[in-house]
């Protein structure tokens, strides 16, 4: 943390307190209130932590007003265009882009750790066939600590690294097996001759009865989805991972906690909600009706996949994702898919209608990723598991960073208590 040059003065009932102000590399200054309770005897009140920095970090930076997202200083657009997912994983984990030799070694390590302990295959069969893939992923990832005892000591840097590699390597296998299990097909094991995205697509869509060739356009689109969801600063699931980690929990438990949080429809389910909206609209001729409803403040209907809570401008990830969406839709075609026809027309309207342009309600990354995954043949139940797969490296990077901070301590938020004051206890006979 940088040395403070400024202070703020807080006055409470005539008493004044000087609070340090820190200036970050980018973004607004931060008021340090760590000693406020000890000095002044008061807490701050910030539901949702919308104005509170819970940590300092060097991993990801977001400027929602300007539409900026960077990883270790590199703009997300450059990374998505010029790099690929495993290179971005290395960047997030180690703080710098790899040399050719470093990348080759990293890719080899990840590729050769994609298989699961064979006993874990039996663990899947304990779930009902109609279980949601996220329920399966939460359980299986949490159970990894029971199978990989040599990478649960968070105080050992080498074990932390092994756990990091294992989670990144095995998450596509877990997600694909969760999918195969819910549709009643046999598991497809990973292959070491395929890249990360191609391997995942093959494990999801191949069957033993015939050969499966991965289309390079689909593999590139899948890789971009992974890259564009790799990390997103201190969001709900990342904060959950950090909070779980602060107690000293093992890495697999921490990532399972992140998956559980991501499962919430307000977080990881955004692209699924977008596809469900497209299904509700149903056909292109009904779009004007729904556009009218979206503009009506009295109507509860909202266009999902447009605008973003963080970005008050164009989502920087959406520009790259749109390119992939166009490529995939050209490959797969939209003529026989009413859902994708609705999506394309909605996109056209949102990019040209003055109402949407003035309110900056541009199509966001969830809109395009949902279209791509639908065109590839994934059911909406797999959208959030794919998000979790992508975000695993971000969670791990944040987890590693927190454990490396000598000043980290267990999370313990305060509260504004509004319940009953102390009351006298009475026996049941006297009530």
Report whether 227 contacts 74 (CB < 8 A): no
Provide the angle, in degrees to the nearest 10, between the axes of the packed helices 133-143 and 251-262. 170
Tell me if residue 186 falls in helix, strand or coil.
coil
Q: Residues with Cβ < 8 Å from 162, sequence gap 6 or more?
A: 150, 151
Question: For residue 287, what is the enclosing H or E element?
Answer: helix 287-295
Residue 238 to residue 49: CA distance in whole angstroms: 13
Residue 29 to residue 23: CA distance in whole angstroms: 5
What is the DSSP secondary structure assignment for residue 185, as one 8-state letter?
A: P
Residue 370 to residue 226: CA distance in whole angstroms: 13
Residue 18 designated active-site = no
Report whether 21 contacts 8 (CB < 8 A): yes
- Please identify which of the residues 193, 366, 408, 421 carries the catalytic annotation: 366
- Count other Cβ atoms within 10 Å, centred on residue 336: 8
Report helix, strand and coil shares of the chain as percent, to nearest 5.
55, 5, 40
Residue 282 to residue 293: CA distance in whole angstroms: 15
- Please identify which of the residues 71, 84, 232, 308 carries the catalytic annotation: 308
Report the greatest alpha carbon distance in the chain: 80
Residue 156 designated active-site = no
Q: Which residues are the active-site residues?
A: 308, 366
């Amino acid at each position: 943390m940088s040395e403070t040059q400024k202070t703020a003065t807080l006055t409470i009932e005539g008493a004044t307190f000087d609070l340090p102000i820190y200036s970050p590399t980018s973004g607004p200054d931060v008021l340090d209130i760590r000693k406020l309770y000890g000095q002044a005897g008061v807490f701050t009140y910030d539901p949702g932590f919308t104005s509170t920095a819970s940590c300092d970090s060097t991993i990801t930076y977001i400027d929602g007003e300007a539409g900026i997202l960077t990883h270790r200083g590199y703009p997300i657009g450059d990374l998505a265009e010029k790099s690929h997912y495993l290179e971005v994983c290395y960047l997030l984990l180690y703080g710098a882009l790899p040399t050719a030799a470093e990348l080759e070694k990293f890719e080899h390590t990840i590729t050769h750790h994609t298989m699961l302990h064979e006993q874990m295959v039996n663990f899947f069969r304990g779930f009902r066939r109609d279980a949601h893939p996220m329920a399966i992923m939460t359980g299986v990832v949490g159970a990894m600590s029971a199978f990989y005892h040599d990478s649960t000591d968070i105080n050992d840097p080498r074990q932390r690294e092994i756990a990091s590699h294992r989670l990144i390597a095995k998450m596509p296998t877990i997600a694909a097996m969760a999918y195969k299990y819910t549709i009643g097909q046999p598991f497809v094991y990973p292959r070491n001759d395929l890249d990360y995205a191609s391997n995942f697509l093959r494990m999801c869509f191949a069957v033993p009865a015939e050969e499966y060739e991965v289309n390079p356009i689909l593999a590139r689109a899948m890789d971009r989805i992974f890259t564009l969801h790799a990390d997103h600063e201190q969001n709900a699931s990342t904060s959950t991972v950090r909070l779980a980690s602060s107690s000293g929990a093992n890495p697999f438990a921490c990532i399972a906690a992140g998956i559980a949080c991501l499962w919430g429809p307000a977080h990881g389910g955004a692209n699924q909600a977008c596809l469900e909206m497209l299904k509700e609209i149903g056909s292109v001729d009904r779009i004007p009706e729904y556009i009218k409803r979206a503009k009506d403040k009295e109507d509860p209907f909202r266009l999902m996949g447009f605008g973003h809570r963080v970005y008050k401008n164009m989502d920087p990830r959406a520009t790259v994702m749109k390119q992939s969406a166009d490529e995939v839709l050209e490959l797969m075609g939209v003529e026989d898919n009413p859902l994708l026809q609705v999506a394309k027309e909605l996109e056209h309207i949102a990019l040209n209608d003055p109402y949407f342009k003035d309110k900056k309600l541009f199509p966001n990354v969830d809109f395009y990723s949902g279209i791509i995954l639908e065109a590839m043949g994934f059911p909406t139940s797999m959208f959030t598991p794919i998000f979790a797969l992508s975000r695993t490296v971000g969670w791990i990077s944040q987890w590693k960073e927190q454990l490396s901070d000598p000043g980290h301590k267990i999370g313990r938020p305060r509260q504004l208590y509004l319940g009953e004051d102390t009351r006298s206890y009475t026996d049941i006979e006297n009530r």
